[in-house]
Chains A and B, each alone.
Chain A
Amino acid sequence: KNQVEQSPQSLIILEGKNCTLQCNYTVSPFSNLRWYKQDTGRGPVSLTIMTFSENTKSNGRYTATLDADTKQSSLHITASQLSDSASYICVVMQNYGGSQGNLIFGKGTKLSVKP
Chain B
Amino acid sequence: KAGVTQTPRYLIKTRGQQVTLSCSPISGHRSVSWYQQTPGQGLQFLFEYFSETQRNKGNFPGRFSGRQFSNSRSEMNVSTLELGDSALYLCASSGGSPWEQYFGPGTRLTVT
Contact with B along A84-115 (1 / 0, CB 8 A): 00000100010000011111011110000000
* Residue pair B43, A105 in contact (C-beta under 8 Å): yes
Docked pose: A95 CA to B105 CA in angstroms: 28
Interface status of A76 (Cβ within 8 A of chain B): no
Query: Which of B14-22, B70-78, B93-101 contacts the other chain?
Result: B93-101
- Count residues on chain A whose CB falls below 8 Å from chain B CBs: 21
Residues facing A in B21-50 (CB within 8 A) are 41-45
The interface size bin for chain B is 20 to 34
CB-CB under 8 A from A31, the residues of chain B are: 99
Shortest Cβ distance from residue A20 to the other chain B in the assembled complex, whole angstroms: 20
| Given known A99-B97, A101-B99, A105-B42, contact A43–B56 (CB-CB < 8 A) | no
Interface status of A1 (Cβ within 8 A of chain B): no
* Residue pair B106, A43 in contact (C-beta under 8 Å): yes
| Residue contacts A-B, CB under 8 angstroms, 13 given | A41-B105, A41-B106, A43-B4, A43-B104, A43-B106, A44-B43, A89-B42, A89-B43, A99-B97, A100-B55, A102-B56, A103-B98, A105-B43
Give chain B's interface residues, CB within 8 Å of chain A.
4, 41-45, 55-56, 90, 92, 96-99, 101-106, 108
Give chain A's interface residues, CB within 8 Å of chain B.
31-32, 34, 41-46, 49, 89, 93, 99-103, 105-108
